[in-house]
Amino acid sequence: MTLNELGPRICIMGPSNSGKSTLASVIAQTRGLDAIYLDQLYHLPYTNWVPRPADEFTALHDAAITGSHWVIEGNYSRLLPARLARATGFILLDVPTMVSLYRYLRRCWIEHDRKGALEGGLDSVKWSVIHHITAATRTNRSRYQHIFSEIALPKVRLNSSKSVADFYRLNNLSRWP
């Protein structure tokens, strides 16, 4: 599946630390789309990941998806129907748990200036996040797979580091623009 087949409004979902922000950033830059990072809309900037009030997040989300050209990354399943109603394509990043765990540790220890980061926030190793990646993600994966199977949009599932690399190569994407 190529980016052209996914259209001008692409929705990316997947487990925590699977590479959603990185992929969204690269697609946005390559295709001239607006990049929308749901964690930035959901959490208050300059906090340690403090959520906004639900109605404020919904308003920001709904305003973001009114545009004609975007790539949006994040899960927040409560608002997924609205995103899918506007999306023209869907990507499920479903990389193995060990890849997500490695990406999380790299994010905390090395990549302090990453796309999709919370403004003024600091990624630090938290046992609750490690537990989420290694335990809670199992349940989420099954939910994501069910969502994926129900979506009628053009879609692609990237379930390994190799499939992600192949997708980047097929679409002439570079992780380090």
What's the pLDDT at 106?
79
The pLDDT, as a whole number, for residue 100 is: 76
Task: Write down the pLDDT at residue 112.
Answer: 62
Report how far Cα 91 is from the mean position of its chain's Cα atoms. Answer: 9
Helices (H), 34-160: 38-42, 54-64, 80-86, 97-109, 127-131, 137-150
Lowest mean per-residue pLDDT among 44-48, 57-61, 165-169: 44-48
The two structure tokens encoding residue 118: 């919370």
Please indicate, yes or no, if residue 175 is contained in any of the structural domains.
no
Long-range Cβ contact pairs of 145-152 (< 8 A, separation 24 or more): 145/92, 145/94, 147/13, 147/77, 147/80, 147/92, 148/90, 148/92, 151/84, 151/90
Query: How do residues 7-36 score in pLDDT, each as one tens digit?
Result: 999 999 998 888 898 999 999 999 999 999
State pLDDT tens for residues 47-76: 877 999 999 999 999 999 999 999 999 999
Q: Per the domain annotation, does 138 fall within a domain?
A: yes
Count up the domains in the chain and report the number. 1
What is the average pLDDT across 128-133?
Answer: 79
Interacting residues of 139 by C-beta distance below 8 A, sequence separation 6+: none
| Phi and psi based region of residue 2 (left: phi greater than 0; alpha: psi -120 to 50; beta: remaining) | beta
Share of residues in the chain with pLDDT > 70 (%): 93
137: CATH: 3.40.50.300
**pLDDT on residue 48:** 78
pTM attached to this predicted model:
0.88
176, part of any domain = no
Question: Which domain does 163 fall in, by range?
Answer: 3-170
